[in-house]
Structures are given as structure tokens and as C-alpha cells.
């Protein structure tokens, strides 16, 4: 490795550190501008400069962060959907139990007036308390 290559790598590392706080869109535009500038150079010189940014860049870090955020949002949405489904299932189950009790009450031999009687309601409450 020549001294020029080492110097170029050190400069690239400093430049990469300087772009850590830039927005992803700005980094994207800078990368395209750099690619256009490398295309305009002579073929031999372009290969030498192409490796200057081979280290980690803030664009790759921000892309990784965005992918992790999307996965996190997807997981939160999945958990929310599962919770909502469970809640609906419980409500349906409760409504079905109430419907079953109502049909048993209506199909019994006891007259409807007996259910409206205060004494019968008190008797039912006392029976549940035991």
C-alpha cells in the first residue's frame, strides 16, 4: 500500500465521519454527484478514487436504521391487530353466552312474570352469594 493510498483512506474516513449528521437525501445526492464526477475523470484516475469511499457511510447506516424502523412498525401493527382480534373474539364469545342464557330463560317453564318479581330477584341474588 502506497503512502498516497493510506492518505486517501484517512481523508475518506474523515469525510465519512463528517457526513454522519447529514440527512439521507443529502447523502444520496452527494453520492450521485461523486459518481458523475468519477465518470468525467480519465479511466485510470477513476479507479484510484473509486475506493476512497469504500468504508461505512452514513447512507448505509441511515438505510439500516430505516429498515429497522419499518420492521418495528410492522411488528407493532401485527401486535395491535392480534390484540384487536382477541378482543373481538372475547366480545363475540360473551354475546354468544348471553344469547344462550336468554334462550334458556325463554324456553323454560317458568312464566315471564316470575323473573320480574322482586322476591325472585332477591332469591336469585341470595343463591349466587352462597
Cβ 59 vs Cβ 24: under 8 Å: yes
Residues 72-121 have pLDDT tens digits of 999 999 999 999 999 999 999 999 998 988 888 777 777 667 777 778 77
Identify the sign of the CA torsion 69, 71, 77, 82. Answer: negative
Residue 20 has which C-alpha cell?
A: 454522519
Contact 19, 49 (CB under 8 A): no
pLDDT tens-digit readout, 27-72: 788 788 877 877 777 666 555 555 555 555 544 555 667 878 888 9
| Domain boundaries defined on the chain | 1-56
Q: Dmax of the chain from CA atoms?
A: 103
Amino acid at each position: 500500500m502506497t503512502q498516497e493510498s493510506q492518505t486517501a483512506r484517512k481523508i475518506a474516513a474523515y469525510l465519512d465521519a463528517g457526513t454522519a449528521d447529514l440527512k439521507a437525501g443529502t447523502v444520496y445526492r452527494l453520492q450521485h454527484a461523486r459518481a458523475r464526477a468519477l465518470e468525467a475523470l480519465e479511466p485510470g484516475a477513476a479507479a484510484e478514487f473509486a475506493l476512497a469511499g469504500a468504508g461505512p457511510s452514513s447512507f448505509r447506516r441511515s438505510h439500516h436504521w430505516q429498515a429497522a424502523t419499518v420492521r418495528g412498525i410492522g411488528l407493532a401493527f401485527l401486535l395491535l391487530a392480534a390484540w384487536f382480534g382477541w378482543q373481538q373474539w372475547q366480545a363475540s364469545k360473551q354475546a354468544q353466552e348471553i344469547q344462550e342464557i336468554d334462550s334458556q330463560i325463554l324456553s323454560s317453564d317458568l312464566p315471564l312474570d316470575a323473573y320480574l318479581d322482586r322476591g325472585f330477584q332477591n332469591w336469585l341474588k341470595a343463591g349466587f352469594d352462597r
